[in-house]
Amino acid sequence: MYEDKVLVCKDCGQEFTFTAGEQEFYAERGFNNEPLRCQDCRKARKNSIKQNRTMYEIVCADCGAVAKVPFEPRHDRPVYCSECFEKHRNG
């Protein structure tokens, strides 16, 4: 059903292959647009965003551990470390 496509990266201008498997993955998840960047440029962009993100130090409302979160906590809601967040999310 799907065939490999050759696309051009909008950042570096290099050609890259959008494989049939990747196309199927995109379709399964409801993504309508083809990727605009090659894998290397996607990784570089993601890392750049992570490095520029402001992290806020919090004290976990459950265990009291100090952790960092990528959002500014509001004082009217509890904030949890990753471990406690997963416990609340799953149970």
Identify the pLDDT of residue 13.
97
Mean pLDDT of 48-77: 91
pLDDT of residue 49: 85
pLDDT band, residue 31 (cuts 50/70/90): very high
What is the three-state SS of the chain? CCCCEEEECCCCCCEEEECHHHHHHHHHCCCCCCCCCCHHHHHHHHHHHHHHCCCEEEECCCCCCEEEECCCCCCCCCCCCHHHHHHHHHC
Question: Would the pTM of this model clear 0.75, i.e. be above it?
Answer: no
Instruction: Specify the higher pLDDT residue, 23 or 74.
Output: 23
**% pLDDT > 90, the chain:** 84
